[in-house]
Each structure stands twice: as C-alpha cells, then as structure tokens.
Chain A
Amino acid sequence: MFPIEEMLAGVGVLAVIAYALLAGADFGAGVWDLLARGPRKDLQRQAIAEAIGPIWEANHVWMIFLIVILFSGFPPAFAALSIALFVPFHLILVGIMLRGASFVFRAHGAAAAGFRAAWGPVFGSASVFTPVLLGMCLGAVSSGSIRVSNGVVLADYWSAWTAPISWLIGALALIQAAYLAAVYLCLETAGELREDFRRRALVSSLVVIVIATVAFPVLIAEAPHLWRSLLQPHVVPVILVGMVLGAASPWALWHRRFRLARLAAAGEVSAIIVGWALAQRPYIIYPDVTVSNSAASRGMILFTLWTLPFAAALLVPSLWFLFSVFKGQNPAAAEPPAGLTGRPMGEATFTVTRTDRGS
C-alpha cells in the first residue's frame, strides 16, 4: 500500500495528464490558428474556433485542480514553486488570460476587420508562449536549478527556468501540443480541410522526433540524475510504451486511421508524463523537496483525498455532458458542416453552423 501522500501526488500526476491532453490540444489549436495558411486559411481558423470554442474554459479546471492539490497537500512545495517560478507563472497567467479574452473578443468582434487583425495574433502568440513556459517550468523542477534550504528558496528568478534543458522541454511541450491538436482536428473536419490538418500533424511528428533526438544528449549532460532515473527498470518500459505509441500515431495518420492516431497520441503523451513522474519520484522539486518532506498533516491529506470522490461526482458527469454535446457523434466528422462551405469566417457563418448542429 502506498503512503497516503503518494496517493495524493499520484492524483496530481493524473491532473497533469488531463491538462496536457485537453488544454495542451487547446494551445496547439491556437498554434495552428497562428500558422493558418494556404487557400483554406479562413476555414482552418473557423474549424479551430468551432473545435475549442465550447471547451477551452473547462479545460483549465485541471490546472486549478493541480494547484489546489499542491496548495492543500504540499504547502512547502507550493510556496517554493511560487517563489522560484514567480516570473514564468505570472507570464503563464497573462498568456491564459490573453488567450481567453482575445478568443472571445475575436469571435464577437468579427465584423470589425481592424479589431480582428489586432486580437487574432494575440490569441495565436499567447497559445505559443504559454505551453513553452509550462514546459520550461516542468524542466526547472526536474533539473535541480531550484534549491530549498531550511524553507528558504535559493533560485535565480530568471536562470532557474531558462537552462537549455528547460528550453528543450518547453519546445517539446509546444510541438506535442500542436501535434495533439492537429490529430484531434483531423477527427473534427473532413475533405481537404482534414488533409490540411493531417499534413500538419505529420510534419509536427517529425519535429517531435528531431527535438527528442537533440534532447537526449542535453539531458545526459545537464541532468544526469534524471537520465539515470529514467533508466530505472520500472521506468524504462513506460517510456518505451510511450515511444512505440509515439511512432504508432503518425503511422496510423499516414494510413488515415484517424481514431487510432488520436488514441495512440493521447496514450503517448500519458505514458511520457507517467514515465517522467516515476523518474521524478519521490521529488516534487529535485533535489530538496520530496513528496513526503513537503506533505501537509495526515488529516489534511486524508481530507483532500476524501473530497476527491465528491469532486469527481460533480465534475465527471458535467464534463461528460459537455464533451458529449459538443464532441460526441460530431456531424462535422462525417461531412463538412454547412458553415464550412467556403464563406469567410464571420458572425453570420458562426450562427448558421451552430443552428445546424443543434437541429
């Protein structure tokens, strides 16, 4: 039986996975919005807006969930992280705010061309720098650049999260997010639009391979402890599963088996995060803050664990309902919806598509 604080930390890892799979794809969709080009530029943007419109806000519930677990279950770790990573955390906050605000502004201010032109790039660029920063923070807690001694955080507010290893993990997070988004979008579009996203997914899977290849030597040189942990006998199989799925997903995409590609992509990201968490264990912030030395009192951990079934009873049906309404049996997957017939994106086309889907 695991100690109870490890159980709570495990729930935290599940929240990271959920955030990566859902909000990650959200950020990735923003990347493709920024990079939309070719003859179907506006249609690409419209498909992206339709895909993430109903759900982008709900996806951030997982980050809040993780913050609450850290705050109530591991307060010293929470305090150390919010001091050492003050700068990137606030930039991430700005990114998430700007993304949401510009997305809504753009959708409702569609008729004013100047307005759209101003807020569109804000949405796209916030979607790029936010996942990079999230990945960089993940790199910082693993690399050993944040030290904590007697409750005092010893970290440079800038260099703690800007080491080469952080940049690489940030870049990986961004490209993975873009890949996930492109694969998901293949299932929400049809025809030439689907081919656009398929091509984008295949290109980004190549970029993932390139970055991962660069990452290995940097990892060995800069974070040998993490490299050794990744080679532990109980971690290697998980990483291997991740790599096999990571290869299977573009293969499935190549053969136009989109559902399989989505499943493999989600499995790959989950396996990599689980592998990272197993290698990171027992540390929350390597090498000074561990799960056990930063755990709150036993009563607090038990209380938090016991609230989970109640939280799940509320959250799971709501999310299931949300996703089944907007994502289940999507008519867009079978044939292009009425809105995607070549008209430029605007308020009117929005309305037509939404009415159509409702009937």
Chain B
Amino acid sequence: MEGLFETQRGAPLTIGGWPDVGAGEIRYGIEIPKGLSLLAKHDINAEVMGLNDVPPRDRPNVYIVRTAFQIMVGFGTALIGIAAWYWASRRWRRLDNRLLLLALVASGFMGFIALEAGWFVTEVGRQPWVIYGVMRTEDAVTPVPGTANVLYGFSLLYVVLAATLVWLLLRLRHRGPEQAHEHHSGSESNVSH
C-alpha cells in the first residue's frame, strides 16, 4: 500500500513519487523518517515487512495500489484542510472568498474520488487473492468463456444509461420553477398520507 520494498526497522513513510518496481524503490518521493513504522505499528522502531519478502506471484499491482492509496489519503487530508479553512473563514467572517467556494464545490467530487480510490486499494491490494489467504482469484473465476465481452457489454449499457440520465437531469433543470414546485407539492402530499 505504501510501496515499501525492503523489510526494515524504523521504516520511512514516502509521500508522492512514482514506484520503480524493477529497481525496488520509490523515485522522487518525500520521505518522512520512521513515519511508516509509527503509522503501522505505533512504534517508530518497529519492523515493517517489505514487498521484496512477498513471493512475486503473491504481490498485487504496486502502481495501482500505491497511486490509489496516495489519492485516497491525499484527498482525505485535503478535505480535512478545506473543512478547517471553512470553519476558520466563518469564525473570522471571510466567507466571500472565491477560492474557498471553489474548494467547497471541489470537495464534493473529492469525497467520491477518495471513496473510489479506497475501493481500488482494497480490491486491487487483495490480489491475487479473492479471499485473502484462502482462495486465489484465478481459482474463483467462472469457467464460462467470453466473460470479457460481458464486461464490455455491461460497461456500454451503463454508459448509455448514465448518458441518458445526465441528459434527462439537464432537461429537468431547464423546466420552469413553477412546474418543479408543482411536482414537489405532489410528492409531499404523498408523504403526509
């Protein structure tokens, strides 16, 4: 997840950069000494197992997992930052800041992206196991041929449905507020029933 290759005591936490799997290192990252040992084991001198001690056939895709993890943690941290920024601005009555408003709008998307990135971390990070340590994904997959086409087909179907939905929502937005209100009162009386 953090892209540590060598098993070591007092392992550093590397932020950013790009893993070079061939050389077994992270290039251009910012290292926080002993950070990983502290995070993973709550002890700055604890030993953390590196990827090199996992047999190659049991390793997940380092590029995807590490990048997704960085995105998840990065966006999560940024969200905390934006929240703090908002409360500080509110406290000192500086809310009419265009940058802050843009950040607040962006935070809606960032939450979703962080969530999806988290799924990439767990699902790709679990590979090659479908049930960790019990069953490998290659043993769990259906023997039915042509599953790739099914994936393409369903992806296409979802693209069509999503495009239709977006088109429909845009159309609904252009309807007058009068109609929107009428519709709203209709559903409201349904609830009170």
Q: Are B187 and A354 in contact (CB under 8 A)?
A: yes
Q: Determine the chain A residues whose CB is within 8 A of the CB of B193 once the complex forms.
A: 325, 357-358
Alpha-carbon separation in the docked complex, A22 to B131 (Å): 36
Alpha-carbon separation in the docked complex, A325 to B171 (Å): 31
Apart from the given pairs A351-B182, A352-B186, 15 other A-B contacts in the complex at a CB distance below 8 Å: A86-B142, A97-B161, A98-B157, A105-B164, A105-B165, A105-B168, A108-B168, A109-B168, A112-B171, A153-B143, A348-B182, A354-B187, A358-B186, A358-B191, A359-B189
Name A84's closest neighbour in chain B (CB-CB).
B144
Q: Determine the chain B residues whose CB is within 8 A of the CB of A101 once the complex forms.
A: 161, 164
Q: Determine the chain A residues whose CB is within 8 A of the CB of B189 once the complex forms.
A: 354-355, 358-359
Name A325's closest neighbour in chain B (CB-CB).
B193
Knowing A83-B144, A105-B164, the reply to whether A94 touches B157 (Cβ < 8 A) is yes
Ranked nearest first, the 8 interchain pairs of A and B with the lowest CB-CB distance are A358-B189, A351-B186, A86-B144, A354-B186, A358-B193, A355-B186, A358-B190, A101-B161
Q: Are B164 and A108 in contact (CB under 8 A)?
A: no
Q: Determine the chain B residues whose CB is within 8 A of the CB of A351 once the complex forms.
A: 182-183, 186
Alpha-carbon separation in the docked complex, A83 to B172 (Å): 42
Q: Size range of the interface on B?
A: 20 to 34
Alpha-carbon separation in the docked complex, A83 to B189 (Å): 48
Knowing A94-B157, A108-B168, A112-B171, the reply to whether A83 touches B186 (Cβ < 8 A) is no
Q: Determine the chain A residues whose CB is within 8 A of the CB of B164 once the complex forms.
A: 101, 105
The distance from the CB of A99 to the nearest CB of chain B, in whole angstroms, is: 12
The distance from the CB of A271 to the nearest CB of chain B, in whole angstroms, is: 35
A195 at the interface (CB under 8 A from B): no
Q: Are A358 and B192 in contact (CB under 8 A)?
A: yes
Alpha-carbon separation in the docked complex, A130 to B186 (Å): 32
Knowing A86-B144, A357-B190, A358-B189, the reply to whether A347 touches B168 (Cβ < 8 A) is no
